[in-house]
Chain A
């Protein structure tokens, strides 16, 4: 069984379009995340979300918005796509336990490679 899944795996679109990436986890975790990996392989958190709070990285443009229909899903909507949005987007999930005493490793989806032309 796939723990964290994302669709689509590849997404090619033109500037100015609006697109969505879907994410589902079957691990029973209460927290989900979106990360962006740029062309130099650098991973940066975009959003963290559980049923209590949404944490937004202040560097993320407001064209990006997470939408969570339920605890198992966190979709990423992107409006007015720009060339600089081209990257690999990873969804991840974890249980928001407190350290110490609780591991909180995040399990990642396979990634979605977004190419904006």
Chain B
């Protein structure tokens, strides 16, 4: 069984500071993918970034980067130069390698950016 743990229920960060959102995972599958999604107060789920289990380099997408430490089973999201619009729920998720399986989500971190 897969499990995603996000240990920060809520975070307050000053605007323009960098933010690290923690995510640890547990799986016995050798092939898997890790995802981060953003859910603003409007409710939609927005895909941010993906990391494959065999990827050698950490994924980056604009201001988002994923700090992937395979041995520690962690996949932290780093947001550089935070903006007020980054205030939202952030979910870490995992999918098994292959097939049509759905994603397993963590409980989320509520990030609030303060001016």
Contact = CB atoms under 8 A, between A and B. Distances in A.
Interface residues of A, number: 34
B98 interface: yes
Contacts, number: 85
B44 A43 contact: no
A103 B50 contact: yes
B45 A41 contact: no
Q: Interface centre among B55, B89, B97, B99, by most A CB within 10 Å? A: B99
Interface in A27-80: 31, 33, 35, 40-50, 52-53, 55, 57
Q: Interface centre among B31, B45, B47, by most A CB within 10 Å? A: B45
B47 A45 contact: no
B53 A99 contact: yes
Contacts of B50: 103-105
A105 B43 contact: no
Interface residues of B, number: 32
23 contacts: A40-B107, A41-B39, A41-B89, A41-B107, A42-B105, A43-B93, A43-B105, A44-B105, A45-B101, A47-B102, A48-B100, A53-B99, A53-B100, A55-B101, A57-B102, A90-B45, A98-B99, A99-B52, A104-B33, A104-B50, A108-B46, A108-B47, A111-B44
Given A45-B104, A53-B99, A96-B98, 12 more contacts: A33-B102, A40-B107, A42-B108, A49-B100, A50-B100, A98-B99, A100-B31, A100-B54, A104-B95, A108-B47, A111-B44, A111-B45
Interface of B: 31-33, 35, 37, 39, 43-47, 50, 52-55, 89, 91, 93, 95-105, 107-108
